[in-house]
Amino acid sequence: MTKYIFVTGGVLSGLGKGTIAASIGLLVKSAGYSVTAIKIDPYLNVDAGTMSPFAHGEVFVTDDGGETDMDIGHYERFLNVDLSKKNNITSGQIYYSIIMKERRGEYLGQCVQIIPHVVNEIKERIREISRESGADVVIVEIGGTVGDIEGLPFQEAARQMRFDEGVKNTFYVHIGLAPILPSGELKTKPIQHSVQELRRIGIQPDALIARSQRHLDDEARHKLALHSNLPPSGVFSCPFLETSYEIPLMLNEQGFTKYLLERLDLEVREPDLSTWNSFVERLKKRSKPVKIAMVGKYTKLKDSYVSIIEALNHASAWNGVKPELIWIESTDIEKNPGLINELDKVDGAIILPGFGKRGSEGKIEAIKYLREEGKPTLGICFGMQLMVVEAARNLAGLRNANSTELDSNTPHPVVILSPEQLGVQDKGGTLRLGARRIIITPGTLAWRIYGTNEVYERHRHRYIVNPKYIDLLEASGIRISGYSEEGHVEIIEYGDGNSFYLGLQAHPEFKSRPLNPSPVFNEFMKYLSIRK
């Protein structure tokens, strides 16, 4: 029998529910069971692809080209697996599918309703992923907080699944905030209230996890247990930590794994967390500081770049350096050109991905400075495209060269809409998405990084380097070190054999894992650590 663990949140959002769900997955996996994880997003968008990073943080891209919620990224990193776009269920998908069925006449004669039709569709989706993955344990995280109107059908589905699957095959974990007053007193009341809200919709939690500034003391634990109908051993605490990669270790120390496996009637085995532990140790021991400029335009919400930040964390742990990220808002460079001097202080820079004109000239100014100063630079997707624009302007002497995304009338369109995109009208799910093959040119920096002639990295773009300008770019010093199967530019480099100036059309950050860092980020960090 498949076991289902439902993760809900209360009190407020932003409590790290995704990393806790991922941590629970890691504990179960490390105890020798196969695990998959599902993120439910109750919003009406079909996927996260059409949302601004400011609205919902990073759009995470899966191998099969899904534009998903960033929690899918947390699951992949903790579980060290490749998930499918199917693992992210939204209300948009559920309603879309029901309305199509209704139009095809599949409900002929019936009145189509939230109960049973919407809830059945949700349960069917969860079971389908469970069947396809063959996992022993399926983690289902319901986004938002209990009490949100749009979350109700999903909570109802979770409630019904205990009825359908049985008590021993379902487990409900509820996560809430225990705030601390200025007097230092830790309060449990908000969590008590959110448990009441959960019970109101028919779910009795099997475990509580209290997030706070510190651990719960015995009194708080007993109080929460009493008000939640739980043994005190079912109440866990999870203080906000320096790194979320420590959460699995902390939950395991409190007996979470044993408690969970017993309740699910699974053989209790001690999870083997030794490699995870050594990664966390290395992460905490990082000491040699390196300053990295993060040049982008969504810098006010760091969640916009979470996979890049994590890829830097993975690589830095294995290279013993401690990155200090200096966020440079490219729109600010446009307003205040003197800001460029900030780049003088950094050891390296990342030109972040993005869309649209706003802030692009600021990024190009930053790129010019970094290239001319010989600063180690890594450009990702839009970042790489702007490296090409900068080289075209300042190395090849093409005045006003640009990407047609930013200036449709540029005299030198060095970055253009990909031919496959011509005529595409719809915005949802129509970019060039997912894992694509990159053919690497031997003897280049890219080849040294990957150590192979071809790799698969994940993509999310509409624009490409204009093939007509490749010869000119190469004549002016840019090296093309990776091509796609279609013959389009994937990787560019600049400088002598001892420099690190690299731009990728792909997003290597999406495949970086704590125990298996991205080769690109790893080499970047190694380069910075040696130069320090």
Using alpha carbons, select from 71, 204, 199 the residue that is nearest to residue 139: 71
Tokens of 372: 């001319």
Give least dist CB 381 to ligand GLN, A: 3
Bridge partners of 409? none
Site for ligand GLN in 427-466 (CB under 6 A): 460-463
Rounded Cα distance between 119 and 276, Å, is: 37
Question: Residue count at the site for ligand GLN (CB under 6 A)?
Answer: 10
Minimum CB separation from ligand GLN for residue 511, in Å?
15
Nearer to ligand GLN, 8 or 418 (CB): 418
Using CB under 6 A, which of 381, 392, 445, 502 touches ligand GLN? Answer: 381
**314 counts as catalytic:** no
Catalytic residue among 246, 314, 342, 381: 381
Which two structure tokens, joined as six digits, stand for 282? 């290395």
Residue 488: active-site member:
no
Segment 345-364, which members bind ligand GLN (CB under 6 A)? 353-355
Strands 60-61, 67-68: pairing is: antiparallel
Q: How far apart are CA 464 and CA 177, in angstroms?
A: 45
- Nearest approach, Cβ of 507 to ligand GLN (angstroms)? 7
Active-site choice (67, 342, 509, 523): 509
Greatest CA separation found in the chain? 74
The pair phi, psi for residue 473, each rounded to 5°, is -60, -45
187/462 with CB nearer ligand GLN? 462
Q: Which is nearer to ligand GLN, 278 or 430 (CB)?
A: 430
Residue 291 sits in the site that holds ligand GLN (CB under 6 A): no
Contact 416, 403 (CB under 8 A): yes
Q: How far is the CB of 56 from ligand GLN (least distance, A)?
A: 15
Is residue 382 within the footprint of ligand GLN (CB under 6 A)? yes
Residues from 385 through 424 that contact ligand GLN (CB under 6 A): 405
Phi, psi of 488 (to 5 degrees): -90, 160
Query: In the bound complex, what is the minimum distance in angstroms from residue 417's beta carbon to ligand GLN?
Result: 8
| Catalytic residue status for 381 | yes
Q: Which is nearer to ligand GLN, 374 or 429 (CB)?
A: 429
Run of H or E residues at 326: strand 321-329
Nearer to ligand GLN, 85 or 159 (CB): 85
- Rounded Cα distance between 58 and 73, Å, is 9
Q: What share of the chain is helix, strand, coil (3-state, %, to 5)?
A: 45, 20, 35
Between CA 122 and CA 133 the distance in angstroms is: 17
Nearer to ligand GLN by Cβ, of 24 and 352: the residue is 352
Taking a C-beta distance cutoff of 8 angstroms, is the pair 471, 465 a contact? no
Residues tagged active-site: 381, 507, 509
Q: Which residues bind ligand GLN (CB under 6 A)?
A: 353-355, 381-382, 405, 460-463
